[in-house]
Amino acid sequence: MQPGAAVIKAAIIDLDGTMLDTVPDFELALNAMRAEFRLAPITQDVIKPMVGKGSEKLIRDVLSLDFDPDRVESVYDEAMAAYQRHYLAINGERSRLFDGVIEGLTALREQGLRLACVTNKPISFTTPLLAQKGLAPFFELVYGGDSLPKKKPDPLPLLQVCSDFDLPPQQVVAIGDSSNDAEAARAARCYVLTVPYGYNHGRPVQEIDSDGIVNSLLDAATLIRAHNGV
């Protein structure tokens, strides 16, 4: 966050690992899917590093724990359908808000920032989850991993938000928990802040090229306020 730089007018915020701890939901849905293939349950510790690259990669990674590549591809469609069915049935049942999320979103909105949620989670999972957890009213825009032709770490979703908001990327900050968020933001030429409590594919958050690590969305709002000089 550079002194004297353009005022930040919008924030693009990730979902899984940034606003919500959704791994317990993944555990339920994935193990229900695995049971249909007579596979043993897997733990949250196994699942957590797999989260964040989209459902397609998640299902292939989970199947790859037991099946060779040819077998993975042969059962992929059936497994994906089962996973989606089970996830929709339990969506939000065990997920929880991280500390400071509501307070942070409130503070960002009070500063006049426009807010968008961009996640690699399918939009059919995302919109009901945001509504269930009381997050939907904060966001003008919501894009899931299947809303656009490309997902993070491609910059397209972030650039789409910039276009929708009619703002240059230099006036937009992305807030996330993983290298996906940072790589997308860097490619889009947005600022990027990272939270340390998320998933990041099992890698330390300190390895991410970002403009700062913030302990919560409320801390992010405080940093943005200071950057904007208000």
Residue 146 marked as a ligand binder: no
Instruction: Give the separation between CA 229 and CA 62, rounded to whole angstroms.
Output: 47
Q: Does residue 208 contact residue 179 with C-beta atoms inside 8 Å?
A: yes
Task: Report how far apart, in Å, the C-alpha atoms of 91 and of each of 4, 98, 103, 109, 194 are.
Answer: 43, 17, 23, 27, 25
Question: What b/e sequence results for 168-195 when a residue is b if at least 16 CB atoms lie within 10 Å of its CB, and e otherwise?
Answer: ebbbbbbbbbbbbbbbbbbbbebbbbbb
Residue 61 marked as a ligand binder: no
Q: Does residue 180 contact residue 52 with C-beta atoms inside 8 Å?
A: yes
* Coil, helix or strand at residue 11: strand
Instruction: Give the separation between CA 22 and CA 58, rounded to whole angstroms.
Output: 14
219 is catalytic: no
Phi, psi for residue 33 in degrees, rounded to 5: -65, -45
Residue 209 marked as a ligand binder: no
For the chain, the C-alpha Rg in angstroms (whole number) is: 18
Instruction: Give the separation between CA 209 and CA 186, rounded to whole angstroms.
Output: 8
Task: Report how far apart, in Å, the C-alpha atoms of 25 and of each of 85, 92, 151 are.
Answer: 13, 7, 22
**Residues with active-site annotation:** 14
Would you list which residues are annotated within the binding site for Mg(2+)? 14, 16, 177
Would you list which residues are annotated within the binding site? 14, 16, 177
